[in-house]
Amino acid sequence: MTVAEAKAQATKPVVEAKNLGLTFRTNDGPVQALTDVNLTIDKGEFVSFIGPSGCGKTTFLRVIADLEKPTEGMIAVNGMTSEQARESRAYGYVFQAAALFPWRTIASNVALPLEIMGIASAEQKTRIARVMELVNLTGFENKYPWQLSGGMQQRASIARALAFDADLLLMDEPFGALDEIVRDHLNKQLLELWARTNKTICFVTHSIPEAVYLSTRIVVMSPRPGRVTDVIESTLPRERPLDIRESAEFIAIAHRVREGLHAGHSYED
Amino acid sequence: MRWFAPSWQALLAVVLCIGAGLLGVMSLPEATALAQPAASIAYPWAASKSLIFDAILISAAFSMMRVPPAVAALALFAGAHLAAWLLLSGIAGFEGTALAPFYLLMAAAWLLAWRCVTILSGLKPTHRLAKTLVGLLIPVIFGAWLLIIWEGVVRGAGIPFILLPPPSAIGARIATSVPILAADVRQTIFKAVIAGYAIGCGAGFLTAILADRVSFLRRGLLPIGNMVSALPIIGVAPIMVMWFGFDWQSKAAVVSIMTFFPMLVNTVTGLAESGHMERDLMRTYASSYWQTLFKLRLPAAAPFIFNALKINATLALIGAIVAEFFGTPVVGMGFRISTEVGRMNIDMVWAEIAVAALIGSVFYGIIALIERVVTFWHPSLR
């Protein structure tokens, strides 16, 4: 790779969607899950996708991850097709549930992607130790998933997504099933982790405070058909203590998100 | 009444004892002896009668005192089994002559054993060894009483040997025919069952993976597999004898066919068991088919595969034994059962059945044990 190419690589957007559309064929006829999505996500951004259920936010994440194929438009991840990106293990994906394998200990669950990618076992050990520390699970390596609380399980699944050091982290409502207190705690930890690792994070949520607290950019989506209605740049500083959520600036952004959700919503008609 | 802790089993045992005492005469020879006091006629329980009553009454009464449960259980155990042993050893030689008191006393002793098991089940031993011991003792007492009642009824009522031999006769037969039984086990179990089981289960498993990989097999073979696994496949045994000859190979073939389809159907079901999210997860790692199979789908299928292995353990034994009814060299469990029935050696038939039951249980137990180790993570085990 020449210097110029390396530079081009560095400035290339991590995710680029152009006129992206996806129509599911169902027995009740076609369903437009996504239509005309245009979005560019740069390196180091924390982008939240928010909207009511059925707005296609999860579907969009799955398109980035090559778990769904778009029917229209174009998607590029790290300048490659989404399939190439998946095959080069460009991203870590955190699902709504922890999806840990019950027959593996926490450490060997975290080791799963490393085993599949054929990483040497000595290297595996140092990486597991590092990510376990990153998510504050040191000391629980030899526990089985069912012996841990829901919050700890979800942290383990984040550690698993971090273990192979992809620069892009895709998170699909990872804290949706957890209670408010645990969720606050994990949000804070996630921000710290993002600051330390400088990863690009795409985060699907249906909680306005969560989206505003975490993101540098908030993508507001609306259903029928799933589309982007507003993209809000956050003016909050990168350093965010939990009580920033009571500041006027935070409330203003949250208000704008709510407006956006409301405008895109069509319960009335 | 702080010293008195009644239980209905012990009370009923006392009532039955009193009933037996009031009826008095326990056997026909005893009635004859009473009618002719001058003649010296031998009759059962001439010397042990009072000891039987004492054993039951004392242990029943003792168990209802405020004593530690372990002590009460010990007393009941001793009383019930002493009484049972005296009753059974007394009737030997006087089969078919027992009168109502004999059965009443048997029932009373059985009630005491029941009470003993009830107390043992309620014990919460803290020591590990004691816990295992009590856990073992309960089914052993239970099983022993099945045999004791069988023995008592068969001897007391004088049931013909051909219809139902007493367990003691079966036990004696096992003890005297160990070489024959060993040869039969070698032929039927170690040749036909093991080979057929391994081939049938292995082929079923591999076919399931093949069907998973090749979609036309999945669509074509599986509905047929489901149908065939419901058929009485044992009917092919005579055909297998024609194909593979009289020796164990034809029996192994029957066992293979019988075990193939349950394994196929269960493994295919198990392979579909892993969740969408887990499979998506493997996809995000760009995991290959075989990696996903070995790291996700087979472990998730393990409970189903072990289910098939357990079903097949029973099926294999049945298949091998019944297949031998259709032609075999002069050795084998099925051969022995079919010929000894013809020669009226019913105790030998029962001996083979007992050995088959024992081996079947051990076989099943080993698989269940391996299952516990392999699928320790399953919600039903953890």
CA distance A92 to chain B (A): 7
- CA atoms of B336 and B325, how far apart (whole Å): 9
Answer whether residue A3 shows pLDDT above 80: no
Asked whether the beta carbons of B84 and B109 are under 8 A apart, the reply is yes
Q: Are residues A220 and A251 in the same domain?
A: yes
Measured in whole angstroms, the distance separating CA A86 from the mean position of its chain's CA atoms is 15
Which residues of A are less than 8 Å from B281 in CB distance? 93, 95, 99
- CA atoms of B376 and B382, how far apart (whole Å): 6
Q: Are residues A118 and A80 in the same domain?
A: no
CA distance B289 to chain A (A): 11
Sign (positive/negative) of CA torsion A140, A144, A148, A151?
positive
Which residues of B are less than 8 Å from A146 in CB distance? 377, 379, 382
Q: Are residues A184 and A129 in the same domain?
A: no
* Residue A103 near chain B (CB below 8 Å): yes
Q: Are residues A174 and A254 in the same domain?
A: yes
Q: Are residues A172 and A209 in the same domain?
A: yes
Asked if A86's CB is within 8 angstroms of B295's CB, the reply is no
- CA atoms of A4 and A19, how far apart (whole Å): 29
Which CATH number does the domain housing residue A227 bear? 3.40.50.300
**A95 in a domain, yes or no?**
no
DSSP string spanning B43-68? -TTTTTHHHHHHHHHHHHHHHTBS--
Residue B204 CB partners (closer than 8 Å, separation 6+): B259, B260, B261, B262, B263, B264, B267, B308
Strand (E) positions, chain B?
none
Nearest CA in chain B to A101: B296
Answer whether residue A122 shows pLDDT above 50: yes
Share of residues in chain B with pLDDT > 70 (%): 100
CATH number of B175-374: 1.10.3720.10
Q: Are residues A132 and A203 in the same domain?
A: no
Which residue of B286, B296, B376 is in closest CB contact with A86? B286
Three-state secondary-structure class, residue B279: helix
Asked if B283's CB is within 8 angstroms of A95's CB, the reply is no
Mean pLDDT of A29-41: 86
- CA atoms of B382 and B365, how far apart (whole Å): 18
CA atoms within 13 A on the CB side of B352: 27
Average pLDDT for chain A:
85
Three-state secondary-structure class, residue B338: helix
Q: Are residues A181 and A256 in the same domain?
A: yes
**A269 in a domain, yes or no?**
no
pLDDT at B79: 93
- Give chain A's domain count: 2
B31-68 pLDDT, tens digit per residue, is 888 888 888 888 888 888 889 999 999 999 998 888 88
Kindly report the number of other CB atoms within 10 A of residue A51's CB atom.
28
A140-178 pLDDT, tens digit per residue, is 999 999 999 888 898 899 889 888 888 899 999 888 877
Q: Are residues A17 and A132 in the same domain?
A: no
Average pLDDT for chain B:
90
What is the C-alpha end-to-end distance of chain A, expressed in Å? 55
Which residues of A are less than 8 Å from B278 in CB distance? 99, 101
Phi–psi pair at A16, nearest 5 degrees: -135, 120
CA atoms within 13 A on the CB side of B152: 25
Which residue of A87, A95, A116 is in closest CB contact with B277? A95
Share of residues in chain A with pLDDT > 90 (%): 20
The burial of B228, by beta-carbon neighbours within 10 Å (0-12 exposed, 13-18 middle, 19 or more buried), is given as middle
Confidence of residue A247 (pLDDT cuts 50, 70, 90): confident
Task: Give the burial string for B344-357 (b: 16+ CB within 10 Å, else e).
Answer: ebbbbbbbbebbbe
Asked if A99's CB is within 8 angstroms of B275's CB, the reply is yes
CA distance A77 to chain B (A): 14
Nearest CA in chain B to A68: B280
Three-state secondary-structure class, residue B378: coil
Answer whether residue A187 shows pLDDT above 80: yes
Mean pLDDT of A32-44: 87
Nearest CA in chain A to B297: A101
CA distance B370 to chain A (A): 15
- CA atoms of B279 and B124, how far apart (whole Å): 45
Asked whether the beta carbons of B5 and B66 are under 8 A apart, the reply is yes
Asked whether the beta carbons of B46 and B31 are under 8 A apart, the reply is no
Mean pLDDT of B208-235: 84
Q: Are residues A41 and A73 in the same domain?
A: yes
User: Residue B68: which of B119, B9, B1, B128 has the closest Cα?
Assistant: B119
User: Residue A41: which of A175, A158, A189, A170 has the closest Cα?
Assistant: A170
Mean pLDDT of B329-346: 91
Phi–psi pair at A264, nearest 5 degrees: -75, -15
Which residue of B277, B285, B302 is in closest CB contact with A116? B285
pLDDT at A265: 60
Which of A28-32, B162-166, B182-186, B255-259 is least confident?
A28-32
| The last residue of a domain, from among A146, A165, A184 | A165
**Where do we find the tokens 């097709």?**
A81
Segments forming the whole domain that contains residue A221: 3-90+167-264
Which residue of A88, A116, A144 is in closest CB contact with B287? A116
Which residues of A are less than 8 Å from B284 in CB distance? 65, 67, 86, 91-93
Confidence of residue A266 (pLDDT cuts 50, 70, 90): low
Strand A15-26 relative to strand A72-77, pairing: antiparallel
Task: Give the burial string for A210-229 (b: 16+ CB within 10 Å, else e).
Answer: bbbbbbbbbbbbbbbbbbbb
Q: Are residues A72 and A171 in the same domain?
A: yes
Strand (E) positions, chain A?
15-26, 29-41, 46-50, 72-77, 80-81, 91-94, 168-172, 200-205, 217-222, 227-233
- The domain spans of chain B are 8-159, 175-374
Mean pLDDT of B303-316: 94
pLDDT at B1: 57
DSSP string spanning A111-169? HHHHHHTT--HHHHHHHHHHHHHHTT-TT-TTS-GGGS-HHHHHHHHHHHHHTT--SEE
Q: Are residues A49 and A69 in the same domain?
A: yes
Sign (positive/negative) of CA torsion B372, B376, B379, B382?
positive
**Where do we find the tokens 């002719």?**
B36
pTM as predicted: 0.82
Q: Are residues A107 and A222 in the same domain?
A: no
DSSP state of A18: E
Asked whether the beta carbons of A106 and A148 are under 8 A apart, the reply is yes
Mean pLDDT of B302-328: 91
B126-177 pLDDT, tens digit per residue, is 888 888 888 888 889 999 999 999 999 999 998 898 899 999 999 999 999 9
Confidence of residue A269 (pLDDT cuts 50, 70, 90): very low
